């Protein structure tokens, strides 16, 4: 008998499983709206020009392949924190942000979860919005935290359930850990307005909640990195000691390079040094030290003003293309096709995804009859739409809902 004969087969990943079904489909009209990776207007993966240029600069400098320190490339982590917090942020300017490089956003969340499980003195429970990115629950559970939820999305209005959110946050135990999507909430595409963020910050103060921001889409949501950092910077200005996960997967298109950062706002450079020493102790037995190449690329872009300028334009280009797809899709459904239902949320939602409101039976029909693949919750990656397929998509949706 094999040692592994009692290991049960696990379920396929709900998001990556969609890509597998897509790959197996031979129809030329097929569309993959499952995975959240940017595609250009020809439907092709896109390597940013600033990334290509940074790689040329790196090749010319003939760098070595030595190990990075446990906390990663120091210039990179400093520049990543500057991008998120802003150069004039008080904790950043006073050298009180503890920051380490991570294996993209996923790794940052995992380091953060493990650090909080070990050192956050008040609670071992993290509250996630309902719904949230599918990987959040297993990441935090495997980090050693208990996972609970707060209301976020209202299916009826296909918008924010702000009343439910406030009620739930007012009812969690004081000093609980609460995860917030900094911008471009995944999977809903629904973000609080600046005014609503201010109210949320007030509740955090009242209840002394601990905010853990997941910022996987800075710049990618609105096209402007400063604007997308509003919630993070506002909370820090208000004196909250935040935890922050950053990813450079989407905004620099560095998906497979796995570039990210985890940071914590501390009170002083002395406290920052203590916290960083413990973050290193969390990281060392997990993977010793992070990968080199992607951090070098990101740092080259962040530290060179010409490349930085080019990056800002390219991020805006990606965001604008997605926004234009939202407008086109909305116009097709509610205009010519007169598709039953209310579709304005497609235009108002933010970031890579749209929660269409399509029901599981409809998403199944779209896959089987139209070769269009999305997650069963009706989430579509807007980046999978382009000038060549959007009309076919709109017509197929129109048929599926009638
Ligand atoms: N958080 C959210 C909300 C995300 O959508 C993603 C990417 N799908 C991530 C974190 C992390 O992704 P990565 O590890 O590729 O940076």
> Which pTM value belongs to this model?
0.96
Q: Residue 241: its pLDDT value, please?
A: 98
Beta-carbon contacts of 279 under 8 Å, excluding residues fewer than 6 positions away, are 71, 98, 100, 111, 115, 262, 264
Token pair belonging to 80: 């990543």
How many whole angstroms from 308 Cα to the centroid of ligand 1? 22
Q: Assess whether the C-beta atom of 105 lies below 6 angstroms from ligand 1.
A: yes
Q: Residue 36: its pLDDT value, please?
A: 86
> What's the longest Cα–Cα distance across the chain?
64
pLDDT band at 18 (very low <50, low <70, confident <90, very high): confident
Token pair belonging to 184: 């471009």
Q: Would you name the residues annotated as active-site residues?
A: 133, 214, 250
Q: How far apart are the first and last CA of the chain?
A: 54
Percent of the chain at pLDDT > 90 equals 94
Q: Assess whether the C-beta atom of 367 lies below 6 angstroms from ligand 1.
A: no
- Over residues 239-267, the mean pLDDT reads 98
Beta-strand pair 97-103/259-265: antiparallel
pLDDT band at 23 (very low <50, low <70, confident <90, very high): very high
Q: Assess whether the C-beta atom of 214 lies below 6 angstroms from ligand 1.
A: yes
> What does residue 270 show for φ and ψ, rounded to 5 degrees?
-70, -45
pLDDT at 266 over 90: yes
Token pair belonging to 395: 């017509």
Query: Can you tell me which atom of ligand 1 is nearest the CA of 136?
Result: 1
SS3 for 157?
coil
Q: Assess whether the C-beta atom of 108 lies below 6 angstroms from ligand 1.
A: no
| Cβ-based neighbour number of residue 156 at 10 Å | 6
Contact in structure between 164 and 199 (CB atoms under 8 Å): no
Q: Residue 325: its pLDDT value, please?
A: 96
Q: CA 347, CA 121: separation in Å to the nearest integer?
A: 42
67: left (phi over 0), alpha (psi -120 to 50) or beta: beta
Query: Can you tell me which atom of ligand 1 is nearest the CA of 249?
Result: 16
Query: Can you tell me which atom of ligand 1 is nearest the CA of 185?
Result: 3
How many whole angstroms from 255 Cα to the centroid of ligand 1? 9
- Over residues 129-150, the mean pLDDT reads 97
Name the residue with the closest Cα to ligand 1, atom 16: 105
Mean pLDDT of the chain: 96
Q: Assess whether the C-beta atom of 133 lies below 6 angstroms from ligand 1.
A: yes
270 by Cβ neighbours in 10 Å (0-12 / 13-18 / 19+) ranks as exposed
Query: Can you tell me which atom of ligand 1 is nearest the CA of 248?
Result: 16
How many whole angstroms from 136 Cα to the centroid of ligand 1? 9
Q: Residue 11: its pLDDT value, please?
A: 87
pLDDT band at 12 (very low <50, low <70, confident <90, very high): confident
pLDDT one-digit tens code per residue, 334-380: 999 999 999 999 999 999 999 999 999 999 999 999 999 999 889 99
How many whole angstroms from 105 Cα to the centroid of ligand 1? 5
pLDDT one-digit tens code per residue, 202-214: 999 999 999 999 9
Q: State the complex-level ipTM.
A: 0.99
104: left (phi over 0), alpha (psi -120 to 50) or beta: left
Q: Assess whether the C-beta atom of 104 lies below 6 angstroms from ligand 1.
A: yes
Q: Assess whether the C-beta atom of 242 lies below 6 angstroms from ligand 1.
A: no
Token pair belonging to 289: 């030290």
Query: Can you tell me which atom of ligand 1 is nearest the CA of 181?
Result: 3
Residue with tokens 């009638």: 402
pLDDT at 272 over 90: yes
Which residue among 102, 126, 128, 135 is best mutated to probe the pocket of ligand 1, counting the most ligand atoms within 8 A of its Cβ?
135
- Over residues 274-300, the mean pLDDT reads 98
Closest to 228 in 3D by CA, of 130, 95, 93, 86: 86
Which residue among 80, 84, 133 is best mutated to probe the pocket of ligand 1, counting the most ligand atoms within 8 A of its Cβ?
133
SS3 for 70?
coil
Contact in structure between 297 and 58 (CB atoms under 8 Å): yes
Q: CA 356, CA 378: separation in Å to the nearest integer?
A: 6
H/E element holding 261? strand 259-265
């Amino acid at each position: 008998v094999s040692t592994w004969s009692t290991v049960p087969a696990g379920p396929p990943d709900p998001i990556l499983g969609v890509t597998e079904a897509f790959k197996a489909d031979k129809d030329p009209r097929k569309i993959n709206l499952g995975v959240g990776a940017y595609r250009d207007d020809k439907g092709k993966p896109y390597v940013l020009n600033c990334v290509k240029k940074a790689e040329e600069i790196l090749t010319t400098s003939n760098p070595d392949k030595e190990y990075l320190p446990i906390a990663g490339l120091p210039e990179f982590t400093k520049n990543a924190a500057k991008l998120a917090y802003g150069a004039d942020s008080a904790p950043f300017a006073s050298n009180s942000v503890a920051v380490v490089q991570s294996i993209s956003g996923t790794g940052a969340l995992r380091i953060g979860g493990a650090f909080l499980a070990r050192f956050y003195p008040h609670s071992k429970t993290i509250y996630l919005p309902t719904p949230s990115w599918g990987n959040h629950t297993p990441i935090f559970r495997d980090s050693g935290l208990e996972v609970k939820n707060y209301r976020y999305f209202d299916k009826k209005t296909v918008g924010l359930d702000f009343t439910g959110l406030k009620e739930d946050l007012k009812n969690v135990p004081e000093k609980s850990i609460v995860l917030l999507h900094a911008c471009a909430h995944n999977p809903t595409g629904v973000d609080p307005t600046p005014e609503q963020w201010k109210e949320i910050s007030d509740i955090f103060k009242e209840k002394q909640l601990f905010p853990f921001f997941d910022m996987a889409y800075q710049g990618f949501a609105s096209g402007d990195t400063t604007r997308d950092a509003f919630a993070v910077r506002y909370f820090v200005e208000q004196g909250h000691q935040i935890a922050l996960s950053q990813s450079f997967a989407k905004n620099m298109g560095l998906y497979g390079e796995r570039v990210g950062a985890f940071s914590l706002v501390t009170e002083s450079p002395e406290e920052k040094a203590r916290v960083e020493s413990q973050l290193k102790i969390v990281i060392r037995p997990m993977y010793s030290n992070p990968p080199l190449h992607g951090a070098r690329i990101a740092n080259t872009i962040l530290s060179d003003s010409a490349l930085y300028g080019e990056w800002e334009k390219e991020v805006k280009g990606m965001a604008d293309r997605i926004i234009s797809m939202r407008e086109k899709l909305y116009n097709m459904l509610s205009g010519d096709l007169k598709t039953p239902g209310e579709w304005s949320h497609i235009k108002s939602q933010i970031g890579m995804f749209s929660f269409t409101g399509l029901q599981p039976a409809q998403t199944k029909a779209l896959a089987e009859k139209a070769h269009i693949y999305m997650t069963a919750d009706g989430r579509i990656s807007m980046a999978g739409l382009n000038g060549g397929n959007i009309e076919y998509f709109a017509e197929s949706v129109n048929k599926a809902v009638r």
